[in-house]
Amino acid sequence: MKDLNDWKEISKKYYRYVIAANVCYEIIVHTWYWDTDILTARASLFIAGDWRGGLPSSGSFFERELLLSEQPLFECLEEAIRDKQKYEDAEKVTYATILRKELN
């Protein structure tokens, strides 16, 4: 994930990294001068996915959320790693909570 080669280029300088079923990070390059390292290109990072609401009335929906706007591409990669770690940490806490409730 920290290497741009791990990301799939979907279209011209539009990259995607899948993290779960129907959820991915997206990096869109705004400006890249070809005589410079692409990691210094101006880019934005998003998380996009199909989400299910917690209540039956809230339904399912698609959302693309901006996580980092118009920063060097290397910073977008770093932010994606940090954001994914927060997600994984939250999942561990949720799973541990469920296990504790089942054991009691």
Question: Residue 99: pLDDT above 60?
Answer: no
Contacts of 51 (CB under 8 A, 6+ apart): 60, 61, 62, 63
The band of 29, judged by pLDDT with boundaries at 50, 70 and 90, is: very high
User: Which of 23-27, 94-98, 99-103 holds the top average pLDDT?
Assistant: 23-27
What CA–CA distances, in Å, run from 55 to 62, 67, 71, 93?
Answer: 16, 25, 36, 21
Mean pLDDT over 38-47 rounds to 97
Q: Residue type at 53? A: G
Domain residue limits at 95:
4-103
Question: Residue 54: pLDDT above 90?
Answer: no
Mean pLDDT over 6-24 rounds to 94
The pLDDT of residue 87: 79
The band of 57, judged by pLDDT with boundaries at 50, 70 and 90, is: low
Question: pTM higher than 0.75 for the full model?
Answer: yes
Question: Residue 52: pLDDT above 70?
Answer: yes
Q: How many domains does the chain have?
A: 1
- The DSSP output letter for 99 is H
Q: State what percent of residues in the chain have pLDDT above 70.
A: 81
